[in-house]
Amino acid sequence: MAPGPSAPGPSPGTVSVTVAWLRHVAVTIHERRAWLTDLDAAIGDGDHGINLDRGFAAVAADLESGILATDSVGPLLTAAGRRLLGLVGGASGALYGRALMAAGNRIAANSTAGPTGTRRLAEDALAAAIDGIAALGHAAPGDKTMLDALVPALVALRAAPPDELIEFALAGAAEAAEAGAAATIPLVARKGRASYLGERSAGHLDPGAASSAIMVRCLADVVAAAGGAGASLPETRATR
Amino acid sequence: MVGLVLVAHSEDLVRGLAAMIGQAAPAVPVAGAGGLGGGRLGTNGLAVAGALRRVLAAAAGDGVLVLLDLGSASLALDVALDELDPAARGLVRVTEAPFVEGAVLAAVASSGGADLGAVAAAAERAGTMPKLPRD
């Protein structure tokens, strides 16, 4: 059943990491939904935590019920993104939906090239997600958006030495994402609802950057829990 | 006849504006995508795609003008356009016009037989139309 080492595409271990990541994001966003919503209430429309919680809970429920295909990473991420797109609504649904779909599509396109490890997969997924968000949101780093967490995470991941253990490389990416999110506090928003506030948006952490940093941290956590390279994960994190 | 698609964060807002358009130009095909269901505010790209498909069908090749309220409405429209095939996408035009005034002026122009370009131009005139008496 398990493909040999020369089989193309992501290894079975990376599928279980992806499933675990989606579940862990659902649990973590649920735990932090009030905080995210408070951040959004300060400079946006006050529904970021509630909307994301609703969307990722639906993704987790689809994983549970088997509606989402779980035999390869690309189609899984694309389907999860589509679910967010249809359910979350608002900017966050469109942007995270598009991000996951872009990540899934790029992984699926690359998967014919040869075996793909977790490190390469994470870089490809993050790069595609950033491209998807930047294209849809017409945003760039410094605009006080999700990109201010995700771009530093990708830079850190690419800068990690090639022989560094994946869990350490991802922990570095998560730290960079959190630092990037924190660095949005003094910025004046140039995109999204917060941009309607102008200077008044300064002094607040951007909720999209905050949720993006959570998602990168969740990836670092599940890969560390899997023992790095994507061994099968203990399914201890219930989805609620 | 050119149709209109109204994209907004609130279902009530869309329904109210559609009713105002219906008074001014009852024959014009109009569909709205507003809110996330259950009274929740927000925009949904897949709902916008559904509205576009319905109005494109009713407009029978004459095209559709899209009006947006604010913020993520334009993101939802981008998502929706990705859902359409290129031929359908070519029949969709979006305007920067103010949501209420633009929609009413566009509907009146469409009901008078204007083509898509002229309907869009009518909507854009709403941006400079005075609301208060000028004397």
Smallest CA-to-CA distance from B2 within B121, B106, B126 is with B106
State the CB neighbour count (10 A cutoff) for residue A218.
21
Tokens coding B72: 């993520």
- pLDDT grade for A13, boundaries at 50, 70 and 90: confident
Rounded Cα distance between B22 and B5, Å, is 13
Q: Which pLDDT belongs to residue A237?
A: 40
Rounded Cα distance between B24 and B18, Å, is 10
pLDDT tens column, A85-128: 888 877 888 999 999 999 999 999 987 766 667 888 999 999 99
A85/B79 Cβ within 8 A = yes
pLDDT tens column, A30-45: 999 999 999 999 988 8
CA atoms within 13 A of residue B99's CA, in its CB half-sphere: 20
Whether the per-residue pLDDT at A5 is higher than 50: the answer is no
Rounded Cα distance between A18 and A78, Å, is 12
Q: Which pLDDT belongs to residue A11?
A: 67
Q: Which pLDDT belongs to residue A63?
A: 95
State the CB neighbour count (10 A cutoff) for residue B53.
17
Per the confidence metrics, is the pTM higher than 0.95? no
Mutate to test the interface with A, among B10, B68, B72, B83 (most CBs of A within 10 A): B72
Mutate to test the interface with B, among A98, A105, A145, A196 (most CBs of B within 10 A): A98
Q: Which pLDDT belongs to residue B11?
A: 96
A94/B76 Cβ within 8 A = yes
